[in-house]
């Protein structure tokens, strides 16, 4: 179960970093963003599903992470 917890934390950090980096690229002007949604247009063409379901992905990762932490460390929560 400990390996699963580390994997979930790694995936959550990785996905969050991708969303942050997309915003960083567009805010600094290093990538083109015609519609102003802080997602580079080149990324939006290839991975539009990933950015359109951002809320659902982060919600699911948060639920899984919370559940695993609750099972792993029941005395803390």
Q: Tens of pLDDT along 25-76?
A: 999 999 999 998 999 999 999 999 999 999 999 999 999 999 999 998 888 7
The dihedral region occupied by 29, where left means phi > 0, alpha psi between -120 and 50, and beta the remainder, is left
**Closest listed residue to residue 43, CA positions, set 62, 18, 65, 13:** 18
| pLDDT at residue 74, as a whole number | 87
What is the domain partition of the chain in residue ranges?
Answer: 2-72
| pLDDT at residue 45, as a whole number | 93
Is the pLDDT score of 77 beyond 80? no
| pLDDT at residue 8, as a whole number | 93
| pLDDT at residue 2, as a whole number | 83
Cα separation, 21 vs 73, whole angstroms: 32
């Amino acid at each position: 179960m400990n390996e699963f917890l580390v994997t979930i934390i790694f995936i959550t950090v990785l996905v969050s970093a991708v969303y942050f980096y997309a915003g960083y690229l567009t805010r600094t002007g290093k990538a083109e963003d015609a519609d102003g949604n802080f997602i580079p247009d080149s990324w939006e063409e290839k991975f539009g599903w990933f950015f359109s379901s951002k809320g659902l992905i982060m919600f699911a990762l948060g639920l899984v992470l919370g559940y695993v932490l609750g099972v792993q460390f029941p005395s803390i929560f």
